[in-house]
């Protein structure tokens, strides 16, 4: 078991200043997301969860006495952790303040997400401190080295993710990896993963995904029923709430959206260019790009990111109800539809994005690359070429975890929105509807 030594490197005064700054930044982004015009009432519990964890620095809302297991990727099956009687929490960090601490701990060219995670070793957040185990999928070099560093701080386990979905041997290896995880989870909780507990966890996730499928239908409405920045915040919260509670909050949100649709109470007019964001992870409070899009007059109509809709859009299908059948279904669900660039052949992501462009009536794509996030950067030119054929404009924006690049981002996003508006206008003129 790793020690608490990491905390002693930082003075209480440093920790105090860290807390002041990080909570101030988290609160300001929450306020900006909340204050986009006319938010539905039912968003409140989602914002409250983010506020509780990142502004009040309290632990996640979990059942009394339950332990938490941290995960660093969307490819860790949360059902397995629930089946062992622990609560999964997502630890990928979007904190600029933690980034400044972590910047000294990892190489300059490492991605800001990993730097930010390391910064939390200052010992200010129960979300990290209370984790009994951390599960780190090896999806890129930074995550691999992160696993090595986190070992000094917490008990960790790496999860090997196949590099290709094409080869059965790779997929079989991933199933073995999931089996390997079970005794480690059982050791944390002292409870066994049984067929029954696994089936129960699968069912609970099913409720969340049912509400998610309802939600996606409202999400596609044009004019929009709510802002994409708020949707991204809601998607973030799935990583910090029990699935049934999340599903219940989603049910209320869906009901309110249904009423709003009947009343024709929209979040914005339909003339705002509908934009899809894809690329590197976007973790609260790092909402600067979604916020800039919507504050500059665009509509963030969909996202293809791993902290957004990617985690929840496709339900699990179990054909074989045996324990092994459920394990294989989980392995399939967490890799086959996944469009992470960790896979060597990721044409699937292009198809997925094209499908989303149709479903959500997308007019332009903003491709977000976190500095140093090579795997996502690799896929930009391919997507650019594909979308050019479809006549969908796309721009690449690079960002880091700080606010110094906001003006650079703003001018790019502003010009992109102007481009989309002019294109829309000339298309309408050509059709004779302007």
Partner 1 sequence: MSYTIGLDGGSTYLKGALLKGRQVVETMVCSTGIDNNGSAEQMLGQLCQKAGIARSDIRYTMATGYSRKVLTVADDDISEITAHAYGVRVTAPKEYRPGMIIDIGGQDSKIIYLDSGYNIKNFTMNDKCAAGTGKFMEVAAQILETTIDQVGPLSLESTAPCDINSTCVVFAQSEIISLIARQFDRKDILAGMHISMAKRIVKMMKKSEKNGDILMTGGGALNVGIRKAFEEELMKDVYVASYPQFNGAIGAALIASERA
Query: Among the residues of 264-359, which ranges form H helices?
Result: 288-295, 323-335, 347-359
Look up residue 44 and give its two tokens: 């409140």
Provide CB contacts within 8 A for 378, sequence distance 6+: 341
H or E element that contains 428: helix 406-431
Minimum gap (Å) between residue 368 Cβ and partner 1: 15
Answer for which of 100, 265, 419, 424 binds partner 1 (CB under 8 A) is 419
For the chain, the farthest-separated pair of C-alpha atoms sits apart, in whole angstroms, at: 70
Minimum gap (Å) between residue 359 Cβ and partner 1: 24
Cis peptide before 395 (omega within 30 of 0): no
Contact status: 428 vs partner 1 (CB under 8 A): no
8 Å CB contact between 8 and 263: no
Place of tokens 């690079």: 398
Q: How far apart are alpha carbons 87 and 68 in whole angstroms?
A: 5
Within residues 376-415, the interface with partner 1 by CB under 8 A covers: 384, 388, 393-396, 404-405, 408, 411-412, 414-415
Q: Which is nearer to partner 1, 382 or 415 (CB)?
A: 415
Contact status: 418 vs partner 1 (CB under 8 A): yes
Q: Which is nearer to partner 1, 191 or 371 (CB)?
A: 371
Contact status: 172 vs partner 1 (CB under 8 A): no
Beta strands in 124-227 (DSSP E): 131-138, 156-160
Minimum gap (Å) between residue 421 Cβ and partner 1: 9
Q: Which is nearer to partner 1, 58 or 418 (CB)?
A: 418
Minimum gap (Å) between residue 356 Cβ and partner 1: 20
Contact status: 423 vs partner 1 (CB under 8 A): yes
Minimum gap (Å) between residue 416 Cβ and partner 1: 8
Give the count of residues interacting with partner 1 (CB under 8 A).
Answer: 18
Q: Which is nearer to partner 1, 255 or 388 (CB)?
A: 388
Minimum gap (Å) between residue 415 Cβ and partner 1: 4
**CA terminus-to-terminus distance, the chain:** 67
Q: How far apart are alpha carbons 176 and 93 in whole angstroms?
A: 28
Positions touching partner 1 (CB under 8 A) are 384, 388, 393-396, 404-405, 408, 411-412, 414-415, 418-419, 422-423, 426
């Amino acid at each position: 078991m790793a020690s608490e030594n990491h905390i002693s490197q930082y003075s209480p005064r440093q920790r105090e200043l860290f807390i002041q700054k990080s909570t101030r930044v988290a609160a300001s982004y929450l306020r900006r997301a909340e204050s986009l015009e006319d938010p539905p009432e039912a968003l409140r519990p989602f914002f409250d969860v983010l506020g509780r964890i990142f502004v009040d620095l309290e632990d996640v809302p979990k059942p009394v006495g339950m332990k938490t297991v941290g995960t660093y990727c969307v490819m860790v099956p949360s059902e397995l952790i629930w089946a062992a009687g622990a609560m999964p929490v997502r630890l990928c960090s979007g904190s600029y303040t933690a980034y400044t601490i972590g910047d000294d701990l990892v190489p300059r060219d490492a991605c800001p997400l990993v730097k930010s995670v390391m910064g939390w070793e200052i010992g200010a957040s129960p979300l990290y401190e209370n984790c009994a185990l951390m599960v780190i999928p090896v999806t890129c070099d930074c995550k691999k080295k992160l696993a090595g560093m986190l070992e000094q701080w917490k008990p960790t386990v790496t999860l090997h993710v196949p590099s290709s979905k094409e080869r059965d041997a790779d997929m079989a290896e991933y199933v073995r990896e999931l089996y390997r995880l079970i005794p480690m989870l059982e050791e944390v909780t002292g409870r066994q993963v049984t067929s029954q507990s696994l089936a129960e966890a699968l069912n609970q996730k099913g409720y969340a995904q049912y509400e998610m499928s309802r939600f996606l239908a409202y999400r596609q409405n044009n004019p929009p029923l709510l802002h994409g920045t708020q949707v991204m915040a809601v998607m973030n919260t799935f990583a910090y709430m029990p699935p049934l509670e999340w599903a219940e909050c989603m049910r209320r949100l869906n009901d309110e959206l249904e009423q709003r649709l009947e009343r024709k109470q929209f979040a914005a007019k339909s003339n705002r260019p509908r934009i899809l964001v894809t690329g590197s992870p976007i973790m609260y409070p790092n909402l600067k790009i979604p916020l800039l899009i919507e504050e500059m007059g665009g509509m963030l109509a969909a996202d293809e990111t791993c902290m957004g809709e990617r985690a929840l859009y496709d339900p699990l299908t179990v054909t074989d109800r045996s324990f092994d059948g459920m394990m294989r279904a989980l392995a399939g669900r967490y890799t086959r539809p996944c469009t992470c660039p960790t896979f060597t052949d990721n044409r699937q992501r292009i198809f997925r994005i094209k499908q989303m462009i149709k479903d959500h009536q997308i007019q332009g794509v903003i491709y977000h690359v976190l500095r140093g996030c090579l795997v996502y950067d690799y896929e930009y030119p391919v997507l650019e070429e594909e979308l050019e054929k479809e006549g969908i404009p796309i721009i690449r924006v690079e960002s880091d975890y700080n606010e110094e690049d906001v003006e650079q981002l703003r001018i790019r996003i502003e010009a992109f929105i102007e481009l989309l508006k002019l294109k829309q206008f000339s298309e309408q003129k050509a059709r004779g509807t302007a």
